[in-house]
């Protein structure tokens, strides 16, 4: 597989991940572009072609961290977002986005890698530098935290009684 084929296959997922990390379209584009330049330079030294996707995601993560050290993080103002008044699904999507952004990064990052990248716990653990067990714990805690934030209070009380 050539580097060009690899980029074609994973470019959209890399951008989604970078956008989730940066929360800014232009910064995400810059991160992906820089990551792909670094990846292109290092591609001849890549030993395991099967691990190329995880390798690219790791480069995007590292480039984001490098860029975040150079630039201030953009602020996200949820109250400025425009949502349709009658669309319940759009409201839920906004609520989910708000809940995801409220998660601590140690929970949110493994969840994003699993959902956006489709990585296994072992792959995520290798990318973020933790054990597989710690990654599984973080994923479980992230899901529980999201459920608590999204589920209406009355439904939470019912489930406690059962």
What's the pLDDT at 4? 93
What's the pLDDT at 147? 86
What's the pLDDT at 157? 54
**CA–CA separation, 134 vs 142, rounded Å?**
12
Domains of the chain: 3-70 (1.10.1740.10), 86-161 (1.10.10.10)
Are the beta carbons of 135 and 110 closer than 8 angstroms? yes
What's the pLDDT at 80? 41
Per-residue pLDDT tens, the chain, 162 aa: give them: 899 999 999 999 999 999 988 888 999 999 999 999 999 999 999 888 888 999 999 999 999 989 887 654 444 443 343 434 445 444 555 677 777 778 888 888 888 888 888 888 999 998 888 999 999 999 999 999 888 888 765 455 555 555
Looking at the whole model, is its pTM more than 0.75?
Answer: no
What's the pLDDT at 155? 52
Angle value at C-alpha 16, between 150 and 134, nearest 5 degrees: 60
**CA–CA separation, 109 vs 123, rounded Å?**
13
**CA–CA separation, 142 vs 111, rounded Å?**
7
**CA–CA separation, 14 vs 30, rounded Å?**
12
**CA–CA separation, 33 vs 145, rounded Å?**
33
What's the pLDDT at 89? 45
What's the pLDDT at 127? 87
What's the pLDDT at 73? 45
Angle value at C-alpha 160, between 156 and 161, nearest 5 degrees: 120
């Amino acid at each position: 597989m050539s580097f060009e084929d690899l980029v074609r296959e994973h470019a959209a997922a890399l951008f989604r991940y970078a956008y989730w990390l940066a929360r800014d379209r232009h910064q995400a584009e810059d991160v992906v572009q820089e990551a792909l330049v670094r990846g292109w330079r290092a591609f001849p030294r890549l030993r395991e072609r099967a691990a190329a996707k995880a390798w690219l995601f790791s480069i995007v993560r590292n480039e984001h961290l490098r860029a975040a050290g150079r630039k201030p993080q953009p602020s996200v103002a949820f109250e400025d977002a425009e949502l349709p008044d009658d669309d319940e699904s759009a409201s839920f999507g906004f609520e989910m986005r708000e809940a995801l952004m409220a998660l601590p990064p140690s929970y949110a990052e493994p969840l994003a890698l699993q959902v956006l990248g489709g990585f296994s716990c072992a792959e995520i653990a290798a990318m973020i530098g933790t054990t597989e067990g710690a990654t599984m714990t973080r994923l479980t805690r992230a899901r529980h935290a999201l459920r608590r934030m999204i589920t209406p209070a009355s439904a939470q009380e019912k489930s406690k009684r059962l």
